[in-house]
């Protein structure tokens, strides 16, 4: 109880004491290498446009660049994530060879009672804590935080699981397993309402769906496969390692997204200045208007009804494929829950997830690769999908790796994987509106899969689930509504990137602070800090 209330104070203050940081740096100093590597990698500045008087062809290319984003350096986030993940795993040698390794037996027993906030595989204890749903300041505060977290999380395309889990444990008082399950309910509700809003909105520049189904089919199978792997790793990985992964990955993706938002803000400002020059007026010496250079579009966009937009945004065949993948994974998870862990049938069911995920990913990859080669031969430079990268074998492998890595992070932390997928879509050149809609769409499938499984396992109280899901549904819809209106009014899509970066940063602070505090307490208690056995920890 003391740890819980002290954590609330730290979360509200958003700071740590000098002594805490000293212990963290001493224990985890090897893990700051990938952070330094990340900032050195991104120190190469992109070439900026400094002249306003450019030709018509250059202007059109520049506007396309502003809308689509610059994809230079998208390998940087992949290299950063790989280096951070690898360094964090290797650094377990530093901990396991410390003085705490001698207390293995006692540590294993005591570590089962530690407070972990990241996935349902962990818990403060085997005891289930379900507070009664009644009006109180805790419920009011949780409602406000849940509403804001859902609204901002769906707009950014990251869900908000990094905010919900600490909120449910520290403020409402749920145990960790129940908090992770309720967090999935909130993510599902917010993402579902956000998808409902998005399919009734037109693409900002083209007559295509605002949800990129090609990218959804490419990432969704690998994301769900990665979540399965992440859940398995969450049983094995020690608590401090998951905390370090949170700090490295979330701070890295947050800072990268923030820098990208600043770049896009500057490009939008430059574009606004150029348009202001074009729309200026010419007057004579007596101040009489001679020429008004305000231009109208040569071909105005055709007005469409809500039903026409809805039909345009729905691709039934691809939706059916995504739904079949969802059903297949759900069936395997349900069957696997009734099978003995580490038995032959358990591993057979576990391995069956790979063919279906790799099959769907492979089909979509071959399609994109073939179409890319065909367009290159004919000299057609138009992008196949919303991503502005060329679909070479290297880029496809990069997307596959990031999809699995994003799923692993989602499985480790109990989130929907949007913390990696959202920034990744921006990195490959997807405009913010489409990146948000596509990431939320994919996240709806992964979160709903977990909700159905948790419901069958009776992991959360129904009254709280209904209430919090309802709050998230309202927040997801109205968050999309207000932010889209604001983006249209200000003509700054970079606002979506800033919201995404902010949600990831707040999640890193909340989960990182609680994780560091608990890790330090485990170190002081000389608890076991190494990897656990997968079969023996179930």
Q: List, for residues 455-491, the tens digit of each pLDDT value.
A: 887 888 899 999 999 999 999 889 888 888 888 888 8
pLDDT value for 383: 65
- Identify whether 21 is part of a domain: yes
CB 263 within 8 A of CB 70: yes
Residue recorded with tokens 């071959």: 366
Of the candidate ranges 102-106, 283-287, 412-416, the one whose mean pLDDT is the lowest: 102-106
Greater pLDDT, 235 or 8: 235
Which of 47-56, 227-236, 376-385, 392-401 shows the lowest mean pLDDT across its residues?
Answer: 47-56
pLDDT band for position 212 (cuts 50, 70, 90): confident
Neighbouring residues of 296: CB distance < 8 A, sequence distance ≥ 6: none
pLDDT attached to residue 537: 62
- In the predicted model, what is the mean pLDDT of residues 220-234? 84
Rounded to whole angstroms, the Cα distance separating 9 from 483 reads 31
pLDDT at 59 over 80: no
In the block, tokens 């010496």 appear at 285
In-domain check, residue 531: no
pLDDT at 386: 67
**Distance of alpha carbon 329 from alpha carbon 356, whole angstroms:** 9
Whether the Cβ atoms of residue 413 and residue 119 lie closer than 8 Å to each other = yes
End-to-end CA distance of the chain: 26
Which is nearest to 169 in space by CA: 207, 135, 124? 124
Question: CB neighbours (10 Å) of residue 82?
Answer: 14
Is the full-model pTM beyond 0.85? Answer: no
The residue with greater pLDDT, 224 or 122, is: 224
**Count of residues for the chain?**
538
pLDDT category of residue 536 using cuts at 50, 70 and 90? low
Alpha helices in 203-305 (DSSP H): 213-236, 239-278
Q: What is the pLDDT of residues 481-526, one digit of tens each?
A: 888 888 888 888 888 888 888 888 888 888 888 888 878 888 888 8
Q: Quote the percentage of the chain above a pLDDT of 70.
A: 69
Asked if residue 425 is part of any domain, the answer here is yes
CB 191 within 8 Å of CB 440: yes
Report if residue 52 sits inside a domain.
no
pLDDT digit string (tens) for 403-451? Answer: 888 888 777 776 667 777 888 888 888 888 888 888 889 888 888 888 8
State residue 470's pLDDT score: 92
Average pLDDT, the chain: 72
pLDDT digits (tens, 9 = 90+) for 110-140: 333 333 334 433 333 446 778 888 888 889 9
The answer to whether residue 318 sits within a structural domain is: yes
Domain extent, residue 243, equals 2-40+57-276+304-524
Residue 287 falls inside a structural domain: no
Q: State the pLDDT at residue 471.
A: 92
Residues 510, 166 contacting (CB under 8 angstroms) = yes
> Which of 361, 441, 514 is CA-nearest to residue 195?
441
Number of folded domains that form the chain: 1
For residue 487, give the nearest of 499, 496, 474, 479 by alpha carbon.
496
Is residue 143 within 8 A of residue 161, CB to CB? The reply is no
Q: Residue 266 pLDDT > 60, yes or no?
A: yes
Q: Could you tell me if residue 137 is inside a domain?
A: yes
Contact 185, 293 (CB under 8 A): no
Tokens (6 digits) for 462 = 């129904």
Q: How far apart, in whole angstroms, are the C-alpha atoms of residue 56 and residue 220?
A: 39
Contacts 24+ apart (CB under 8 A), 397-401: 398/74, 398/75, 398/78, 399/218, 399/219, 399/222, 399/424, 399/428, 400/222, 400/361, 400/365, 401/78, 401/82
Instruction: Give the Cα separation of 103 and 92 in Å (integer).
Output: 16
Q: Is residue 154 part of a domain?
A: yes
């Amino acid at each position: 109880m003391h740890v819980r209330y002290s954590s609330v104070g730290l979360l509200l203050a958003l700071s740590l004491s000098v002594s805490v940081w000293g212990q963290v740096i001493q224990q985890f100093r090897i893990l700051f290498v990938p952070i330094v590597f990340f900032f050195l990698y991104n120190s190469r500045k992109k070439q900026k446009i400094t002249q306003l008087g450019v030709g018509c062809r250059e202007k059109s290319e520049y506007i396309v660049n502003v809308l689509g984003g610059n994809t230079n350096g998208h390998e940087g986030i992949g290299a950063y994530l790989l280096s951070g993940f690898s360094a964090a795993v290797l650094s377990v040698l530093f901990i396991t060879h410390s003085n705490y390794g001698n207390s293995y037996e006692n540590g294993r027993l005591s570590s089962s009672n530690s407070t972990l906030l990241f996935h349902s595989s962990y818990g403060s204890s085997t005891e289930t804590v379900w507070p009664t749903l009644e009006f109180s300041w805790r419920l009011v505060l949780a409602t406000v935080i849940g509403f804001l977290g859902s609204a901002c999380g769906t707009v950014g395309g990251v869900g908000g699981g990094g905010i919900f889990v600490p909120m449910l444990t520290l403020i409402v008082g749920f145990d960790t397993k129940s908090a992770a399950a309720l967090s999935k309910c909130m993510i599902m509700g917010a993402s579902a309402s956000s998808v409902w809003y998005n399919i009734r909105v037109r693409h900002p520049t083209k007559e295509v769906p605002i949800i990129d189904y090609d990218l959804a089919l490419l990432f969704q199978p690998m994301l769900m496969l990665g979540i399965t792997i992440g859940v398995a790793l969450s049983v094995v990985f020690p608590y401090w390692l998951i905390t370090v992964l949170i700090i490295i990955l979330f701070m890295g993706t947050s800072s990268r997204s923030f820098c990208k938002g600043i770049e896009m803000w500057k490009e939008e400002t430059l574009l606004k200045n150029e348009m202001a020059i074009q729309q200026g007026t010419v007057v004579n010496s007596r101040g009489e208007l001679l020429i008004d250079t305000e231009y109208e579009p040569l071909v105005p966009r055709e007005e469409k009804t809500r039903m026409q937009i809805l039909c345009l945004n729905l691709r039934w065949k691809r939706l059916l494929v995504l739904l079949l993948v969802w059903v297949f994974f759900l069936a395997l998870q349900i069957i696997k829950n009734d099978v003995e862990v580490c038995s032959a049938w358990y591993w057979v069911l576990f391995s069956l997830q790979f063919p279906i995920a790799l099959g769907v990913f492979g089909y979509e990859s071959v399609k994109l690769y073939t179409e890319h080669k065909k367009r290159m031969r004919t000299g057609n430079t138009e992008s196949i999908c919303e991503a502005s990268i060329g679909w070479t074998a290297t880029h496809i492998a990069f997307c596959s790796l990031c999809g699995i890595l994003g799923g692993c992070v989602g499985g480790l932390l109990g989130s929907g994987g949007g913390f990696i997928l959202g920034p990744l879509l921006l990195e490959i050149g997807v405009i913010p509106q489409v990146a948000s809609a596509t990431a939320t769409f994919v996240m709806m499938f992964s979160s709903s899969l977990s909700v159905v499984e948790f419901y069958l396992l009776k992991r959360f109280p129904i009254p709280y689930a209904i209430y919090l899901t309802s709050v998230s549904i309202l927040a997801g819809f109205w968050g999309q509504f207000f932010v889209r209106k604001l983006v249209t009014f200000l003509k700054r899509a970079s606002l979506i990137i800033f919201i995404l970066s902010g949600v990831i940063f707040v999640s890193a602070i909340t989960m990182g602070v609680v994780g560091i505090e608990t890790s330090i307490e485990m170190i002081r208690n000389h608890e076991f800090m190494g990897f656990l056995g997968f079969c023996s920890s179930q």
